[in-house]
Structure 1
Amino acid sequence: MSDTEVAEHLFAGILGGLVRGDPNEFLHLLVAYDVPMPLEGTTATVRTHFLAADANGNPAVELLGTAMARAAMDFCIPRSRIEQALKHLRETGSTSHFSRLEQQARELFVDGDGTGEGGELLLFLLMEQVLELPQLLAKMSLKTNSNVHVHGSDGVHAKLGDDGVLDLYWGESKLYKSSSDAFTDCFESIGPFLGADGEARRRDLLLVRDNLNIEQSDLAVHLLQYFDETNPKALQVRWNGVCLIGFDHSIYPDMKKIADVQSAEIAKAVKRWHKAILDRIKLNSLLKVNIDVFCIPFPDVDTLRKMVRKKLGVS
């Protein structure tokens, strides 16, 4: 192995080590339906999940909402500020700086109903803890007005391959009552970041370059080469997508007690959802882009959204 290959392997390991969270605290709340399914004729993979149920058969909406709300600081606050709070804790024994960061994270969420930011929290958890992709840009920290959404994609995460290619992942989340609306809007929203034109992608890349959420100076210097158009590494960037698509599903199943008839109905529904995703991928010319799609039906997305807002303390 050459010195260059050794260095790339080292940086890949350091970047991978920035993944945050313990999946054991979260993933038991989402029951996987079958294995991840590649969509024929594309480079997309669909992961279908249902909410787990408690012993009474009730979907674990409150527990999921709590897990999502607890991710707010990791999602919103740059690592540098968290490291400063940790330094203060070590020096003083006080958690006051962490309390301040938690309050600031909560205040960044839009003060109004209908927000998609609950979906952004769940997408963040899935990208970090299922796909093991660390965040490169804490986009919510760029907000200057808590009553205005951050424009652009819902997140930019990354993985550095041993071959020197930087895989960037743009995230998009949609939680709608209608599955059709959720599928359509999700791919229409993420399409400009993944398409051949790439103007929206270039704008986000500038944000990443200027606000790189990396504390390790050597790793930051290495990654910034990929955002320098005068550097050969700028040719070693591959863009990918991660979609979270949530929607209402009537007669919600308890996956531990599912009956044969209901199992057959769910299988038909999953097949329809896969076809709908395939149709949107074709429509938005994304057949050759790597996309991970999390398809998650809910008993009621509004109930989940309100639960997240309650746990965040957002009125």
Structure 2
Amino acid sequence: MSSPADSPPSLSSVIQKLLDKSPLDRFVKCVVDLTSVPPYKAPRVALLHVRFKEDIPSIRAFSDFLGNQAANYALSRRRRDAYQAQMASAQNGDVSAAQELSRAVRKAFIEFRQANPSRASEVGEVLAYCVAVHHLQASQLIAKMALKTSNNMPVYGLDGIHASVVNGELNVFFLESKLAGTAASGTADYADSVSGFLKDDGQYEHEYGLVTSLGNLDVLDPADKDLMLNYLDVFGNPNAPKRERSVGVVCYSEVKHFANKLEVDDGPLSKHEDYFGELYKGDLNRHFTNLDNQLGVKGVDPNKCMVYLVAVPDVDELREMFYESIGIASLDSDVPLTSPSAIKGGKI
């Protein structure tokens, strides 16, 4: 009679071994979740925004949180596990491994920026990672940041590939992150990107090839890895049962609603955040219609798309604070995304 240790691994248990933790809700509030949108209404849209410290949007805390999460996004699971083991075995108060880890993260981001000077979007990519981990409970299958500095990696490849198991079925999520001056421009960029990916069989196969050969699966036990490869090897088993979805994470400057503030008084501290949330929720139908039209123009099936809109007062400010948090300087090539006139006038 076989023991539990001899039984084959379950898909769910294997995915859980790769799942990170990201306390995103301490820094970003979700006012409209995907689960609250009727299932027949596609594409599905979620509304998130930076949290408030009384009446002030807490951008600094948010950027520092993303800076801390950058290591989990940028470094492979094997490399992270090695640093973790090194720090756990340190003696006599030795914390030098933490400095080594910090340098490794900075190096990954600096090399990416040197290779792609026109793309200052890393903060959005880290945010997309956090959204996938926290809201979708989806494990990171590959750390894309280091690969994006390679000549063999398409500059405009996916920003992340994650997976979850629901009711025994594998869900694979293709992440596309966007930073934008407005929600409409961000969702338009997303529609353009997802359209290009879905029409490019070569890139689709390339992304899966990276997952199976260079991804986080190499930290799994052989039986666990073989199980995952059975689902993810699109060359050896192209019809393996899995649900594939595109996930857009659009972080944008919501100038109008953040400028519409209540007076500070001795009432409930939450009233400022709650007031913003109600204004924001009022835009759901407009955001949905924009995205639906944009996907339609590009010929993209909306049923295979979900988008998280993340509102901040000024996405350029968030980007600059993020760079400060991880210890690298902004560049002249970081083109502003939010127009000064919009900020001054509180326009959309």
- Could you say which TM-score interval applies, normalised by the shorter chain? 0.7 to 0.9
Taking a change above 3 Å as real, the CA distance of residues 105 and 149 of structure 1, as seen in their structure-2 partners, is: farther
Matched position secondary structure for 1:151: coil
- Specify the SS of the correspondent of 1:240: strand
| Corresponding residue of 1:158 | 163
Equivalence for 1:122 = 127
1:54-112 residue CA offsets vs partner (Å, 9 max, x unmatched): 12x11111010001010111101111112222333344434433432321112222255
Whether contact under 8 Å (1:176, 1:301) holds in the other structure is yes
Aligned mates of 1:35, 1:87 — CA distance in 2: 37
Question: 1:1-315 residue pairs with structure 2 within 5 A?
Answer: 7=8, 10-23=10-23, 26-36=24-34, 37-38=36-37, 43-55=42-54, 57-93=55-91, 94-109=94-109, 110=113, 115-144=120-149, 150-161=155-166, 163=168, 165-193=169-197, 195=198, 198-214=201-217, 215-217=219-221, 218-229=223-234, 231-232=236-237, 234-251=239-256, 252=258, 256-257=270-271, 266-287=280-301, 289-315=303-329
Contact 1:15–1:219 (8 Å) recurs in 2: no
Q: Give, in angstroms, the shift of residue 266 of structure 1.
A: 3.8
Q: CA deviation at 1:254?
A: 6.1
Instruction: After TM superposition, give the deviation of residue 233 of structure 1 in Å.
Output: 7.0
Specify every segment of 5 or more residues in structure 2 that has no aligned partner in the other structure, as ranges: 263-269, 330-348
C-alpha distance in 2 between matches for 1:261 and 1:53: 11
Cα distance in 2 between the residues matched to 1:28 and 1:242? 22
Is the 2:232–2:240 Cα contact (8 Å) retained in structure 1? no
TM-score normalised by length of structure 2: 0.77
User: 1:29, 1:51 within 8 Å by CA — same for their partners in 2?
Assistant: yes
Task: Identify if the C-alpha distance between structure 1 residues 222 and 34 changes in structure 2 by more than 3 Å, giving closer, same or farther.
Answer: closer
In structure 1, how many angstroms separate the alpha carbons of the residues matched to 2:141 and 2:63? 24
- Higher gyration radius (CA): 2
- Partners of 1:153 and 1:303 lie apart in 2 by 25
- Confirm or deny: 8 A CA contact 1:72 1:106 kept in the other structure: no
C-alpha separation in 2, matches of 1:105 and 1:150: 19
8 Å Cα contact 1:247/1:300 also seen in 2: yes
Cα deviations by residue, 1:120-177 (Å, 9 ceiling, x for unpaired): 011111111121101001111224479x9943011000124554x4321110111111
SS of the equivalent of 1:247 reads strand
Amino acid paired to 1:297: A
| Amino acid in the other structure paired with 2:298 | N
Shift of 1:241: 1.4
Q: Aligned residue for 2:346?
A: none
| Aligned CA distance change for structure 1 residues 138 and 275 (closer, same or farther; 3 Å) | same
* 1:293 aligned partner, one-letter code: V
Pairwise CA distance, 1:45: 2.1
What is the one-letter code of the residue matched to 1:88? Q
The amino acid of 2:214's aligned partner reads N
- Judged with a 3 Å threshold, the aligned counterparts in structure 2 of structure 1 residues 263 and 307 are, in CA distance, closer, same or farther, namely closer
Contact map agreement 1:175 1:245 (CA 8 A) in 2: yes
8 Å CA contact retained: 1:38, 1:44: no
The whole-number CA distance in structure 1 between the counterparts of 2:204 and 2:154 is 18
Give the deviation of 1:304 after TM superposition: 0.6
The secondary structure found in structure 2 opposite 1:235 is: coil
> What letter corresponds to residue 321 of structure 2 in structure 1?
M
2-side partners of 1:43 and 1:277: how far apart? 10
Q: Which runs of 5+ in 1 are unaligned?
A: none
Any conservation in 1 of the 2:48–2:309 contact (CA below 8 Å)?
A: yes
